[in-house]
Structure 1
Amino acid sequence: MKKHVHSKKYENFIKGLLLSPSVNLGCGSFKIADVNIDVEGTVSPDIIWDLNKFPYPFREKVYKSVLLHHSLEHLENPYKVLSECVRILQDDGRIIIVVPSPQNPRYRMENHKQFFTRNSLKNLVSKYFSNVP
């Protein structure tokens, strides 16, 4: 995954949203969860795994927080990804999803398989989770 540069303030904001135990799916160099997973071994994740392969290597209802930070747009099937998130997330847990704006040409990368607007992301996530802001 491409390295995204973030300020310490932003990193602390995202960390503040996470409940333990937490997992970061597609962490890249942004390893802020209890468990960080990525396909790229060069970023030294806790677990090397292709997030396009299902099921993910976790038991059911294990995590209080699932973070998809600039990773969902890189994956082939966001529906299956969110279905896996439901499987591994505790019933009272939270999912945090950050995706780039499709209006920003800087983020129109060829390795992005999906582009989400605020509404399209909300519609997608609402199929799997309630209380979507």
Structure 2
Amino acid sequence: MKVLDVGCGDAKVEGAIGMDIAPLPGVDVVHDLSKFPWPFEENSFDKIYLLNIIEHLNSPIKVMEEVHRLLKKGGEVHIEVVYWNHRHSVSDPQHVTFYNETTWDFFLGKRKTYYTSAVFEMVKLEFIYDKIAKIVFLYQKWLMNLASYFLCNVKQGMIVTLRK
């Protein structure tokens, strides 16, 4: 299985090819992620990881199109991203884009399909809940989901898996 870890930093997924703009330990390919195409052949990866990186990139549509280009048919992209109304989303001045559960509809062919050809199938969407919210709401996910629409800092992030 061929795996790519995009924006791996110094914490590359084990067994993956690590790509980052910085020549850190573990980075195999130094490349500016805002420059397309990325230096790989079409249909060359079974799995691609975007772990806490997509929110740092200016062109998420181009990023997802590039991921789509690089994935083999049936390949999956695993994304972890901070939730739009959590304090971590705005506390890092490097975050330039923001995400919630409806963001992914764009890449599922549910909205504005004329803007991109990168259409995926949703495999998984789950939330990472803030530790304090877990204590306050006593692990009642339905209550945390309801509260997250009205309160900040309940949903800390999302784990999304999409399949080509």
User: Does TM, normalized by the shorter one, top 0.5?
Assistant: yes
What secondary structure, in the 3-state scheme, does the structure 1 residue paired with 2:78 have? strand
Provide structure 2 residue ranges, at least 5 long, that are not aligned to the other structure. 110-117, 125-164
Provide structure 1 residue ranges, at least 5 long, that are not aligned to the other structure. 1-19
- 1:123 aligned onto 2:105: yes
Deviations 1:66-101 (A, max 9, x none): 111101011110111111111110011111111011
- 1:54 aligned onto 2:55: no
Taking the aligned partners of 1:44 and 1:115, their CA distance within structure 2 comes to 28
Identity percentage of aligned residues = 26
Bigger-Rg structure (1/2): 2
Taking the aligned partners of 1:125 and 1:30, their CA distance within structure 2 comes to 27
Runs of 4+ in 1 over 6 A off after TM superposition: none
Matches within 5 A, 1:11-90: 20-32=1-13, 33-90=15-72
Taking the aligned partners of 1:125 and 1:97, their CA distance within structure 2 comes to 13
- 1:113 aligned onto 2:96: yes
Name the aligned partner's letter for residue 130 of structure 1.
F
Name the aligned partner's letter for residue 99 of structure 2.
F
- 1:100 aligned onto 2:90: no
- Could you tell me how far 1:43 is from its partner in structure 2? 4.4
What secondary structure, in the 3-state scheme, does the structure 1 residue paired with 2:82 have? coil
Aligned residues: 113
